[in-house]
Structure 1
Amino acid sequence: MKKFSKPQGDTPDNTNHPASVKLCGTADVAVIPRPRPVSSPQPIFTIAPGVDTRTLLKQACDTLASLTALLENFAAKLEGPNRGEIFSIQQLAMVAELLVNQVRDNLATDREASAGEPETRH
């Protein structure tokens, strides 16, 4: 491993440099900020194109059910106002799960009705 020694002589200071130059606190060297290239954000996770609506809704429902269970377990470990907030979030996740389930049921009912079968509601 190489050992770097401090430069001998004058150390840079802000008097001879533009206002944007900052001295690094750990080393007595000037750090000149350079603008970083701006790129458009790229999605990390994506859904495969062409997946049917029913499959997407089932996955959303399963994800919300898992979220509800995780929040309920976490809330059981807390006390006081934090517990109430987590239970509120858990209830919102549960409502979202119910809504997704209802949309999935509606799609199934619409598909059956359009196929000429009698409409059944549960």
Structure 2
Amino acid sequence: MFKVTPNPPDTDPATPSETIDSNTSHAPSDRIPSAADIRATPRKLCTMFIVNSELDTESLLAHACESLASANVMTLDLADRTEGTSRNTLLGIAQVIMLGELAVNRALDRIDPPE
């Protein structure tokens, strides 16, 4: 579908345009939020996908390790059916996933050392 976009885009005359020389302050909704504004805004948790806050670290790491292993298998499977630069990209992604899996396994070893 083709969307007509004016070149340059039309500007709304009601909206104040900023120039490089503009030192005037605008309404709070017109300015770019600063880091202080972001920190001041309370974070509202989305409850659609939430990890149980009572889970212990070892369980969380074990699940993370299993998820990374599954992602690695899926990526390698897809790479086997792909050719060219896309295959190289998928193999690179699989390697990054594997490195993450190794890091999680090392963290698990520190929590519960093998005997």
TM range (shorter): 0.5 to 0.7
C-alpha displacement at 1:53, in angstroms?
A: 0.4
Higher gyration radius (CA): 1
Q: What amino acid is the match of 1:70?
A: M
Runs (4+) off by over 6 Å: none
- Trace 1:13-28 onto structure 2 (pairs within 5 A): none
Distance in 2 between the 1:61 and 1:41 partners? 25
What TM-score comes out, normalization by structure 1 length?
Answer: 0.55
Distance in 2 between the 1:82 and 1:99 partners? 26
Q: Which residue of 1 aligns with 2:84?
A: 80
Higher relative contact order (CA 8 A, sep 6+): 2
- Trace 1:82-97 onto structure 2 (pairs within 5 A): 82-97=86-101
Q: Structure 1 stretches of 5 or more lacking a match?
A: 1-18, 20-39, 110-119
Distance in 2 between the 1:79 and 1:43 partners? 40
Q: Which residue of 1 aligns with 2:27?
A: none
| Counterparts in 2 of 1:41 and 1:101: CA distance versus 1, 3 Å | closer
Equivalent residue pairs, number: 74
Alignment of 1:56 onto 2:50: no
Distance in 2 between the 1:42 and 1:107 partners? 30
Distance in 2 between the 1:48 and 1:69 partners? 26
> Identity, % of aligned pairs?
30
What TM-score comes out, normalization by structure 2 length?
Answer: 0.58
C-alpha displacement at 1:107, in angstroms?
A: 1.0
- Trace 1:1-122 onto structure 2 (pairs within 5 A): 42-109=46-113
Distance in 2 between the 1:87 and 1:70 partners? 11
